[in-house]
Structure 1
Amino acid sequence: MTKRINIYGFAKASKALFALAEEVTQAGNAAGVDQSLFELVKIRASQINGCALCLDMHTTDALKLGENARRIFLLDAWRETDLFTEQERAALELTEVLTRLPDNQDVPDDVYDRAVNVFTEDQYRAVVWMVMVINGYNRIGVPSRSELPRRAA
């Protein structure tokens, strides 16, 4: 595989994206969004975008938070299971629509309605912003072909 330029090399931009991610996380926590829900959002967007580095990072983070491995294994097929709460399902649906925005051109009314029925306004904002943040990270990680950290298998 051809080694690529590490796009994270723009230190100020990388720090700004990290600061944005921290701000969204804090705002989400203040609004009552569970950190494990954010990790599911990050994993699902990273699955769609094919970002190995982000998948490795966020599945590891989710497991550290106590997430059930079975739910992670089945995340790509979340619609076919009863393993996810209504909030998680709404967040995953929003994640898919927003990550595939060129295909959708909008958030369909039914998707929006399901989300605002289970989230407060601030929670909804936090989830949408987190989808935007992880998509930004995916768009850095994929073209950089970032190497995975070394870990015991």
Structure 2
Amino acid sequence: MTARTTRLDAGVREAMRALSAATKKGLGDAALAELVQIRASQLNHCAFCLDMHLTLARKHGVSERQLDLLAAWEEAGDDVFDARERAALALTEAVTVLTDGFVPDAVYERAAEHFDERQLAHLVGLITVINSWNRLMVSRRIPAGSTEW
């Protein structure tokens, strides 16, 4: 499988970067932001984003144990992911997959217990942005570590 040569327009790339930065800043938790972006990227099979966000997660102090168990976060113990992280990851999966065509109320309400209204809006924004990045990279088959995107 080779990368497709269509480069992302510079204006689109910069707008996406600005939106990503704004949602991360508004969430106010860099480590959690990376966990959310990694989990969405796992679900979307985006090697480019996984590679980038795993590196960033380590820089932000996310433990190797969390990174190792992220794909099985629901089965990992409460000593691995706390209630706030679990709520964010559940919301990430619900927004990313949209199996039923909507985010279940219980998932959204669980997240609302751990995030104030502003943080929750930024979390939903962050999940939406990483899903967009994943689709931009996967559709063009951009490989991990690529500088040609």
Tell me whether the two structures share a fold, i.e. TM-score over 0.5: yes
Q: Partner of 1:2 in structure 2? A: 2
Confirm or deny that 1:71 pairs with 2:66: yes
How has the CA–CA distance of structure 1 residues 109 and 3 changed in structure 2, closer, same or farther, with 3 Å as cutoff? closer
- CA drift of 1:19 comes to 1.0
TM-score in terms of structure 2 length: 0.91
Confirm or deny that 1:38 pairs with 2:33: yes
* Aligned mate of 1:88, from 85, 89, 110: 85
3-state SS, counterpart of residue 74 of structure 2: helix
Q: Equivalents in 2 of 1:60, 1:3: separation in Å? A: 22
Q: Equivalents in 2 of 1:3, 1:106: separation in Å? A: 32
- CA drift of 1:25 comes to 1.7
- CA drift of 1:23 comes to 1.4
Confirm or deny that 1:28 pairs with 2:38: no
Q: Equivalents in 1 of 2:111, 2:2: separation in Å? A: 41
Q: Partner of 1:120 in structure 2? A: 116
3-state SS, counterpart of residue 3 of structure 1: coil
How many residues are aligned here? 144
3-state SS, counterpart of residue 67 of structure 1: coil
Higher percent of residues as helix: 1
Contact in 2 for aligned 1:97/1:104 (Cα 8 Å):
no
Gapped regions of structure 1 (runs ≥ 5): none
1:81 counterpart letter in structure 2: A
Confirm or deny that 1:17 pairs with 2:16: yes
Confirm or deny that 1:109 pairs with 2:105: yes
Q: Equivalents in 2 of 1:127, 1:107: separation in Å? A: 14
Contact in 1 for aligned 2:49/2:144 (Cα 8 Å):
no
- CA drift of 1:149 comes to 2.4
Q: Equivalents in 1 of 2:140, 2:132: separation in Å? A: 13
Confirm or deny that 1:130 pairs with 2:129: no
Overall identity of the aligned pairs, in %: 44
